[in-house]
């Protein structure tokens, strides 16, 4: 336990144009807080730093400044995904990494459920018809009884399953290992069964982390394995999907539609064909960002910081070899 006379040094690494995270006054009472926003400033703040809070999860500054991290024990990423933060020296070293698992699970699940219902009730066409003042009666789908496949049955996938089951969807998942007695899924299938499961699903949701195994997982072959009537939703990571293959499959009618919150290239270029496809919904990497999320992230870090100061086990520990926090 650290005494008040010897406050530990905590470095907060933010994006260059990012404001200070809210709620850090409570941290200042317990630690010396330093701020960095790029490689140069990080090289100045890292010596003596024992804990890092990283809000810029796309940064490469940490890898570049790593030789100056002489006392670092723990890095906390204020994001669920930690793929961009990882580099060999961190993966192979003794520094503990934690993430923000749990903060965004419910709101992302709400986003997914909203997307499914919008497709079922044909809201994209209703919005377009409203814009041109056209009254056009149609019949729409029932969500109840349709089959949802959640690719990545982790904490976010579990919340998706719970909400989707509540409206009558039959929810299946995929994970590293199969399990038949999961309380929230009809069944969780092994990743090896993905192609077979794709062919059975009416909706496919990507909720997996970005790892070497999932990068480019959804290519043309994967989309061709899906039903032609299926809709695809990605709230995981953009590089899990080969965008050109997705566009080609949509144009060929190999799948019926897509809702995308994350992309290989962000921001999505204004000239990209996805913008103008009538069967595609796009949002700007915002599925989990609820009002007050920044303060909630700081509160979560402070809870873990208390545990660290007391010498207790940290929650949301990332398995650095796997690239995500495994419960």
61, 36 in Cβ contact below 8 A?
yes
Confidence grade of residue 3 (pLDDT, cut at 50, 70, 90): very low
Q: Residue 106: its pLDDT value, please? A: 98
Handedness of CA 151, 153, 157, 161 (dihedral sign): positive
Calculate mean pLDDT across residues 157-166: 98
Q: Residue 1: its pLDDT value, please? A: 41
Q: How far apart are CA 10 and CA 48, in angstroms?
A: 9
Q: Residue 2: its pLDDT value, please? A: 45
Percentage of residues of the chain with pLDDT beyond 90 = 93
Class of domain 105-282: alpha beta
Segments of the chain assigned to CATH 3.40.50.720: 9-103+291-325, 105-282
38-84 per-position pLDDT tens digit: 999 999 999 999 999 999 877 799 999 999 999 999 999 999 889 88
The yes-or-no verdict on residue 131 having pLDDT over 60 is yes
Q: Which CATH code, of 3.30.1490.190, 3.20.20.150, 3.40.50.2300, 3.40.50.720, is assigned to 9-103+291-325?
A: 3.40.50.720
Q: Residue 5: its pLDDT value, please? A: 55
Q: Residue 256: its pLDDT value, please? A: 98
- Run of H or E residues at 307: helix 293-309
Catalytic residues: 237, 266, 285
21, 78 in Cβ contact below 8 A?
yes
326, 320 in Cβ contact below 8 A?
no
Other beta carbons less than 10 A from residue 310's beta carbon: 10
The yes-or-no verdict on residue 161 having pLDDT over 50 is yes
Calculate mean pLDDT across residues 240-249: 98
217-239 per-position pLDDT tens digit: 999 999 999 999 999 999 999 99
């Amino acid at each position: 336990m650290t005494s008040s006379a010897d406050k530990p040094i905590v470095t907060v690494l933010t994006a260059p144009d990012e404001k200070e995270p809210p709620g850090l006054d409570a941290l200042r009472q317990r630690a010396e807080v330093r701020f960095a926003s790029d490689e140069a400033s990080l090289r100045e703040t890292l010596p003596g730093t024992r804990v890092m809070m990283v809000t810029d999860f796309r940064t490469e500054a940490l890898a570049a400044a790593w030789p100056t991290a002489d006392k670092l024990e723990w890095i906390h990423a204020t994001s669920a995904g930690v793929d961009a933060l990882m580099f060999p020296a961190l993966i192979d070293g003794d520094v503990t990494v934690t993430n923000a698992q749990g903060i965004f699970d419910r709101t992302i699940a709400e986003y997914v459920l909203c997307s499914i219902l919008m497709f079922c009730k044909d809201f994209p066409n209703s919005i377009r018809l409203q814009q041109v003042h056209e009254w056009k009666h149609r019949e729409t789908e029932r969500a109840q009884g349709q089959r949802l496949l959640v690719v990545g049955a982790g904490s976010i996938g579990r919340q998706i399953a719970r909400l989707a089951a509540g409206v009558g969807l039959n929810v299946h998942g995929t994970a590293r290992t199969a399990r038949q007695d999961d309380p929230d899924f009809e069944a969780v299938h092994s990743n090896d069964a993905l192609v077979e499961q794709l062919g059975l699903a009416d909706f496919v949701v990507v909720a997996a982390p970005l790892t070497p195994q999932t990068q480019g997982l959804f290519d043309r072959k994967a989309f061709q394995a899906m039903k032609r009537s299926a809709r695809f939703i990605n709230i995981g990571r953009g590089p899990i999907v080969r965008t050109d293959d997705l566009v080609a499959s949509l144009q060929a009618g190999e799948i019926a539609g897509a809702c995308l919150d994350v992309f290989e290239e962000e921001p999505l270029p204004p000239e990209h064909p996805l913008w103008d496809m009538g069967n595609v919904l796009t949002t700007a990497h915002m599925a989990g960002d609820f009002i007050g999320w920044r303060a909630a992230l700081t509160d979560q870090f402070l809870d873990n910081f208390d545990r660290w100061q007391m010498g207790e086990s940290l929650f949301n520990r990332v398995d650095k070899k796997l690239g995500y926090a495994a419960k």
